[in-house]
Amino acid sequence: MKPYLYMIKIKLLLALSYRYEVFITFITQIILLFVSSFFWKAAYKGIDSVAMVNERQMLIYSVISIILGNIFSISVEDSIRQKVRKGNVAVDFLKPVNIFYMYFSEDIGNVVTSVVQQIIPILIVSSLFIVVPAPASAVHFILFLVSVCCSYLIMWLISAIFGLFYFWVIDIGPLGEIKNYMILILSGSFVPVWLFPPIIQKTLVFLPFVYIYQFPISVFIGKTSPMPALTGIAVQAVWILGFGLLFGKIKRHVEKNIMVQGG
């Protein structure tokens, strides 16, 4: 376990060496925070609630969504892509460790870093100028934390599966980008899916996307009550299992046919 923990520390150290970048990211996050709060304030003008969600809840929704966006900025896909292109993945495979645990540790390191560098400042700014992002209740908050962990695993596995593709096609072009936008739109990270037409809502229930952003956030704001929340977490677990099996299968295939670039 120790090398994996040290990897988390290394990621933190690396992040601290990019101070300028941290600052720029923070500024964009704050702009996003204000823009979405203005948007929802304007949309709610003269309306009490939409789909049983009031203005305050919606503002909290957007703040939490931005925070989750920070947590879910997963690097495994991109780091495999770059390593495969440059052939440096060879060096990783020479270590007596499970390299995917290593990549996972790197991403956990990223989460720790973003909590310190982005999330805490965002919470402070939001509490001071927009809304205090308080959970509906302690029970809701605990369920929210559990479901965020599940969301993270789903996101990570999807990213890792896309990363594995790079081993044999080297470059899947815009496919990775398309996937990212699909997740952003269909997961309700900008606009909750309950504002979409009913037919789309019904379809999306059968896809993993809403379980990444919208589900944990609606638990947080109290739109989803504890019992349905538990059911939702069970659905998340099924998705984790499904993606986990798929990932394992592709990983075994890749390890059997590894291709390393360059002399």
Q: Please state, in angstroms and rounded to a whole number, the distance separating the CA atoms of residues 256 and 55.
A: 54
Kindly tell me which of 197 and 263 has the beta carbon lying closer to another protein.
263
Nearby residues of 181 by Cβ (< 8 Å), 6 or more positions away: none
DSSP single-letter state for residue 21: H
Q: How far is CA 71 from the centre of its chain?
A: 6
Kindly tell me which of 86 and 249 has the beta carbon lying closer to another protein.
86
Binding window for another protein (CB under 8 A); candidates: 60-68, 132-140, 237-245, 250-258: 250-258
Q: Is 169 in the site for another protein (CB under 8 A)?
A: no
Q: Is 258 in the site for another protein (CB under 8 A)?
A: yes
Kindly tell me which of 27 and 259 has the beta carbon lying closer to another protein.
259
Whole-Å CA distances, 197 to 189, 193, 194: 16, 8, 8
Q: Please state, in angstroms and rounded to a whole number, the distance separating the CA atoms of residues 247 and 162.
A: 9
Kindly tell me which of 3 and 228 has the beta carbon lying closer to another protein.
3
Binding window for another protein (CB under 8 A); candidates: 4-12, 42-50, 150-158, 176-184: 4-12
Q: Is 7 in the site for another protein (CB under 8 A)?
A: yes
Q: Please state, in angstroms and rounded to a whole number, the distance separating the CA atoms of residues 119 and 125.
A: 10
Q: Within 73-112, which residues bind another protein (CB under 8 A)?
A: 86-88, 90-91, 93-98
Dihedral sign of CA atoms 192, 198, 204, 206 in order: positive
Q: Please state, in angstroms and rounded to a whole number, the distance separating the CA atoms of residues 248 and 1.
A: 20
Binding window for another protein (CB under 8 A); candidates: 14-22, 180-188, 214-222, 224-232: 14-22
Tokens of 57: 């809840």
Min separation Cβ 108 and another protein, Å? 15
Q: Is 28 in the site for another protein (CB under 8 A)?
A: no
* Count of helix runs (H) and strand runs (E) in the chain: 12, 2
Min separation Cβ 121 and another protein, Å? 23
Q: Is 182 in the site for another protein (CB under 8 A)?
A: no
Min separation Cβ 65 and another protein, Å? 31
Nearby residues of 140 by Cβ (< 8 Å), 6 or more positions away: 219, 220, 222, 226, 229
Min separation Cβ 94 and another protein, Å? 5
Residues that bind another protein (CB under 8 A): 2-3, 6-7, 10, 13-14, 17-18, 86-88, 90-91, 93-98, 256-260, 262-263
